[in-house]
Amino acid sequence: MRLEMVRRWEGLIFVLLVGVCVWASLGVDGFANGSNVSFLLLDTTEIALMALTMTLVIVAAEIDLSVASTLGLSCAVLGWLWNAGLSIEMIMPICLLVGALCGAVNGLLVTRLGLPSLAVTIGTFALFRGLAYVILGDQAVADLPPAYTGLATASIGPVPVATVLVAVLAVVAAVVLHATGVGRAVFALGSNEEAAYFSGVRVKRIKFWLFVATGVMASLASLVYTFRYASARADNGMGLELAVVAAVLLGGVSIFGGRGTLPGVLMAVLLLGVVRNALILADVANEVLNFVTGLLLVASVLAPNLGAVWRRRTTPSVEGKSAS
Amino acid sequence: MDQTPVLSLSQVSKAFGAVRAVREVSLELHPGEVHALAGENGAGKSTIVKILSGVHRPDSGRILLDGEPVEFAGPGDAQQAGVAVIYQEPTLFPDLSVMENIFMGRQPRSRFGIDRRAMRAAAADLFARLGVRLDPDQPARGLSIADQQLVEIAKALSRRARVLIMDEPTAALSGNEVARLFGVATTLREQGCALLFISHRLEEMFELCTRVTTLRDGAYVATDLIADITPDDLVRRMVGRELDALFPKQETAAGEVALKVGRLTREGVFTDVSFEVRRGEIVALAGLVGAGRSEVARAIFGIDRWDAGSVEVDGRRLRPASPTAAMAAGLALVPEDRRQQGLVMDLSIERNIGLAGLAAVRRGPLVSRAAERRRAADWAVRLRLKYARLADPVNVLSGGNQQKVVLAKWLARGPSVLIVDEPTRGIDVGTKAEVHRLLSELAGSGVAVLMISSELPEVLGMADRVLVMHEGRLAAELSRAEATEESVMAAATGRSAA
């Protein structure tokens, strides 16, 4: 029954996505042309990358709010090392390592100390961003190699190179979540951690590596972000964590864990990107833009639970009956 | 005692769905008596407590307060009538002081708000009446369980409780603390309170109580004066039922030792537990709830750490605290709590069965859905699982079929040692017999089975040997011939070591 509801939800997102695209193509000037589609796709790259691993983390009934700060820290390290004269080919793996370390810090605090990931990653959210400012201050490092800044904005036909990267990693993430033993274990432990542990699932190990993977993904997103804007700053990607979580929840992943699919999340990333793009083209004010995004998020969290709330209201509880 | 009982039950029955928890039970509590309520696990003692305290309403029968019929619509009504319950583990507000806990919601007031001085004096007065020393200003956090119970008792007194129900109050107490509690109980009795005392320890009932009412399988058996009966009489009243032929265990020759547990200790939980289970054997681990049976099983399977001792499977020592290592060695555990520990209720039947054997359904790095489904379908047929589709979540299945899914999950691994914890709890009679037959067949095929069960007929019918635990220790090991309801209960209640 739940499974069917998930499918229905994804069907709904798909219909919504197609509907918004049709409406925007007909009603919004400049939406349906190659360069806009290309820009739209490119603009969702960082959110999409981070949403891939965030999906696994939230299905495992955890959350990582520090992703955008990890991205910022990775940007700062990139700028600092570039200023120090290292080659970009040396810097990139170091950035990925920084991301992995950030994820490992989150993972250790959650699994070894048993702290709730919400609290841990609110802490590291401030910690990593703060560290980014310590490293780079408020300067912008802009003289990055054109080979890379060019590649980050290049397209094959209307499809940006960055989108190809997203597509490849999306396939990997989807296979891991939906077709491997680890994926099976992630669903199980997100739904009932105790039962998963009693079945021999290495709960802590899996959670730890999910956080590490999320950190690596955030630093990969930082590379795309830095090259795309040709600017490494400590405040890069400020606030993106909310967009990532919004996309994952809108995509049908349960905030309580144990439910969700990757295709659903990818469609939700696109839906949010399209809505944003179309509203910008239609000259809608930025404040309204945020309002619409927020509305979609609230709706996505609310909708799957409305049915349950309704049932609870209409059927009296056992205690209610016996006391009457 | 010809005076009117302060509180009594008359022919009270209560059913939960198809389960008749208590049937036509009568009970009279007189002022100035300590009345024991005796019975095995599941005899209906807790239901009686809940009816007396207004948590459950009886389906039929009457509650009489001072001889007048009353109805308790909720715990508030019972409290109003002067009924208070002291639980095994009280729940105080840890950050409030002792006196604030006692007077929660009923604080004495002065013109400027809460009158702390009056509250302190009243609390000290209550403790003086009980004959104990406790600081009213001490925060509840950090109080021992015994002290917490005293705070609850003081709270009950401050509400002018006339009936005090103590539901296994001594289970978590040390010897000195029990003595102190009994002193308080005696004081209260002399002041005219009626006390209902529930304990699994027979010697405590004989020490403290004046009368005892025995329940068996939800039905009233007898009310006796303690002075008139012996502990053996009481045990007979608790267990005396006919063994039926529901539990067939085939005779099998026991093979080599598959599970060897040596002096296993987890501090404060169980101590010095040693036993062996051979291939082809069903060994039952009997004892009362709280004796530490499930905790031993959890430790063997690596869920909890142990502090000392060893576990060997087929001669190989097991790494502690690792379910994965236990599974690799050939152990399987069907846990006590099916819904919380045995199954992921939202996941499908096939994924639950596959969860403990992900390595077996893998093709390269990927899970083969076909293999996963074959494994599930195969075991569903073997265990005669009743289901619509294997992709259905397990929460749509009945309790008995859910238990079959848990069994399938573990049997599909082909374990050499199977630990089952309360394997037939809450499942229907037909499925129960199937589970028993299955365990018997498994033993016949050379699996070593360790069965924890609180149902004596199941233990006596199935087991080749019976280990009995009492308060964290092995109290007795009984052969099939030695094991009777009386001998097992005697060991479980700590009266003798056979």
**pLDDT > 70 in chain B, percent:** 96
Shortest Cα–Cα distance, A113 to chain B (Å): 17
Residue A32 belongs to a domain = yes
Question: B413-464 pLDDT, tens per residue?
Answer: 999 999 999 998 777 666 788 899 899 999 999 999 999 998 888 898 899 9
Q: What is the pLDDT of residue A309?
A: 59
Residues in chain A within 8 Å Cβ distance of B351: 184, 187-188
Contacts of A194 in chain B (CB under 8 A): 340-341
**Do residue B342 and residue A200 have CB atoms under 8 angstroms apart?**
no
B243-279 b/e (C-beta count within 10 Å ≥ 16 → b): eeeebebeebebeebbbbbeebbbeeebbebebbbbb
> B424: closest CA among B399, B387, B444?
B399
Q: Cα Rg for chain A, rounded, in angstroms?
A: 21
Residue A321 located in a structural domain = no
Total of domains in chain A: 1
Euclidean distance between CA atoms B385 and B347, whole angstroms: 16
Q: Do A192 and B343 touch (CB under 8 A)?
A: yes
Instruction: Give pLDDT, residue A121.
Output: 97
Taking the Cβ of residue A179 and every Cβ of chain B, the question of whether any pair is shorter than 8 Å is answered with yes
Chain-chain contact of B344 with A192 (C-beta, under 8 angstroms) = yes
| Whether B359 contacts chain A with CB within 8 A | yes
pLDDT tens by residue, B371-418: 999 999 999 999 989 888 999 999 888 788 899 999 999 999 999 999
B48 CB burial (10 A radius; 0-12, 13-18, 19+): buried
Q: Name the residue of chain A whose CA is nearest to B75's CA.
A: A323
Domain that holds residue A168: 2-304
> Once rounded to an integer, what is the mean pLDDT over residues A70-80?
97
| Residue A110 falls inside a structural domain | yes
Does B367 sit within 8 Å of A179, measured CB to CB?
yes
Q: Is A309 among the domain residues? A: no
Chain B segment 294-323 residues within 8 A of A by beta carbon are 301, 303, 323
Using CB atoms, pick whichever of B335, B358, B366 lies closest to residue A198: B335
pLDDT in tens, B165-176: 998 888 777 778
Percent of chain A with pLDDT over 90: 75
User: Is A323 within the bounds of a domain?
Assistant: no
Give the closest of B57, B327, B367 to A184, CB-based: B367
**With b meaning 16 or more CB within 10 Å and e meaning fewer, what string describes B185-215?**
beebbeeebbbbbbbbbbebbbebbbbbbbb
A313, part of any domain: no
Interval B58-73 mean pLDDT: 93
8 Å CB contact between A206 and A182: yes
Q: Could you tell me the maximum CA-CA distance found in chain B, to the nearest angstrom?
A: 82
Averaged pLDDT score across all residues of chain A: 90
Instruction: Find the closest chain A residue to B391 by CA distance.
Output: A3
Check: complex ipTM more than 0.90: no
What backbone torsions phi and psi does residue B33 show, to the nearest 5 degrees?
-125, 150
Residue A14 has pLDDT above 70, yes or no: yes
- This prediction has a pTM of 0.76
Question: What is the pLDDT confidence band of residue B41, given thresholds at 50, 70 and 90?
Answer: low
Domains along chain B with CATH numbers: 7-92+143-239 (3.40.50.300), 257-492 (3.40.50.300)
- For chain A, the distance separating the N- and C-terminal CA atoms, rounded to the nearest angstrom, is 32
Please give the residue of chain A at the shortest CA–CA distance from B332: A199
Confidence at residue A311, expressed as pLDDT on a 0 to 100 scale? 53
How distant is the Cα of A70 from the closest Cα of chain B, in angstroms? 30
Shortest distance, CA B249 to any CA of chain A (angstroms): 28
Q: What is the CATH number of the domain that holds A143?
A: 1.10.3470.10
The confidence score (pLDDT) of residue B57 equals 92
Provide the shortest C-alpha distance from residue B370 to chain A (in Å).
Answer: 12
Neighboring chain B residues of A175 at a CB cutoff of 8 Å:
366
Nearest to B347 among A183, A191, A197 (CB): A191
Mean pLDDT of A45-55: 98
* B257-282 confidence digits (pLDDT tens): 999 999 999 998 999 999 999 999 99
- What pLDDT does residue B40 have? 75
Which residues pair with residue A155 across a beta bridge? A160
Kindly tell me if the per-residue pLDDT of A5 is higher than 50.
yes
pLDDT at B497 exceeding the cut of 50 = no
What is the pLDDT confidence band of residue A315, given thresholds at 50, 70 and 90?
very low
Tell me if A150 is assigned to some domain: yes
**Tokens standing for residue B1:** 């005692």
Question: CB B366 to CB A179 under 8 A?
Answer: yes
Q: How confident is the model at residue B359 (pLDDT cuts 50, 70, 90)?
A: confident
Q: Mind listing the pLDDT tens digit for each residue in A119-165?
A: 999 999 999 999 999 999 999 999 999 999 999 999 998 899 999 99
pLDDT on residue B333: 97
CA dist list (Å): B481 to A10, B104, B444, B469, B484: 63, 56, 20, 18, 8
Mean pLDDT in residue range B62-87: 91
Residue from B293, B322, B308 nearest B419 by CA: B293
Put simply, the answer to whether A191 touches B343 (Cβ < 8 Å) is no
In this model, does residue A321 exceed pLDDT 50? no
- Residue of chain A with shortest Cα separation from B56: A322
What one-character DSSP code corresponds to residue B359? G
